[in-house]
């Protein structure tokens, strides 16, 4: 995919999350459906949440896990601002910062967790509902490699991706690329444009990542998938979750 097209797809999502931060957050108030990740996060764990959104994960951890050290990262300044406005405040010592993981240098700005600990200290890296918003297979693999570099020994990466192509309700949200004057022949298979109709009309870029592609991405990043399961959404299966660990 051409770099200029990748940048244009990024921009579609930047505009969306900047414009609809409030209405989007209203649909992401509850973290109950995310409780499926709790078995992979121990008390006292050091957690990095890539694509933290409005902070609902750290609010959940503050209630259900003791002593968790949490760092949340999101490209949307508007969503990060909301992390300090709601239940995320329950998590004492949680850190949030704005960075775009689609840009390779984001990792250099990651704050240290403690003196002498270095970078490879996270027991769990979360990438929940974020990887499918990253255009370009090479970029998705690079982000996973960077996440792997940050894992402590025996650490885990928890990934979830929307399975919108398996869901009739979600498929109805797909709009033609001609709406944004993009030739779909220049895109990767699985790239779609989804509409949003809450608090106005917006568009989001998404890439469908099924189990086969997740395994391919994991291999490219030096990771192995320990297990997968489906959960979330009204139907209870809208997201595909994968638990990954480093291969060495």
Helices (H), 71-223: 77-83, 137-149, 168-171, 211-220
More confident residue, 191 or 108: 191
Query: What is the span of the domain harbouring residue 80?
Result: 3-246
CATH of the domain at 173: 3.40.50.150
CB burial readout 62-82, b (16+ within 10 A) else e: beebeebbbbbbbbbebbbeb
* Count of structural domains within the chain: 1
pLDDT band at 235, cuts 50/70/90? confident
pLDDT of residue 85: 56
Q: Taking the alpha carbons of 169, 234, 40, 70 in that order, is the dihedral positive or negative? A: positive
pTM: 0.89
Reported as a single tens digit per residue, the pLDDT across 59-90 is 888 888 888 888 999 888 777 777 765 545 55
Q: How many CB atoms lie within 10 A of CB 16?
A: 19
pLDDT at residue 181 tops 80? yes
pLDDT of residue 39: 94
């Amino acid at each position: 995919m051409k770099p200029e097209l990748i940048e244009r797809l990024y921009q579609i999502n930047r505009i969306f999350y900047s414009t609809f931060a409030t209405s989007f957050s209203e649909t992401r108030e509850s973290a109950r459906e995310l409780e499926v990740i709790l078995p992979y996060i121990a008390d006292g764990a050091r957690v990095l949440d890539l694509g933290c959104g409005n902070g609902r994960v750290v609010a959940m951890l503050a209630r259900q896990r003791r002593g968790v050290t949490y760092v949340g990262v999101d490209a949307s300044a508007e969503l990060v601002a909301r992390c300090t406005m709601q239940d995320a405040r329950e998590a004492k010592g949680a850190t949030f910062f704005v960075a775009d993981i689609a840009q390779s240098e984001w990792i250099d700005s990651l704050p240290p967790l403690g003196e002498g600990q270095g970078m490879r200290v996270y027991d769990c890296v979360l990438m929940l509902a974020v990887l499918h918003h990253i255009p370009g297979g090479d970029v998705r693999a690079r982000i996973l490699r960077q996440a792997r570099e940050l894992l402590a020994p025996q650490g885990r990466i928890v990934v979830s991706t929307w399975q919108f192509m398996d869901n009739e309700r979600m498929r109805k949200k797909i709009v033609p690329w001609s709406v944004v004057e993009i030739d779909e022949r220049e895109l990767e298979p699985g790239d779609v444009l989804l509409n949003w109709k809450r608090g106005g009309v917006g568009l989001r870029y998404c890439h469908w990542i099924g189990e086969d592609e997740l395994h391919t991405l994991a291999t490219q990043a030096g990771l192995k998938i320990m297990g997968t399961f489906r959960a979330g959404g009204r139907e209870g299966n809208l997201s595909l979750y994968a638990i990954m660990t480093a291969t060495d």
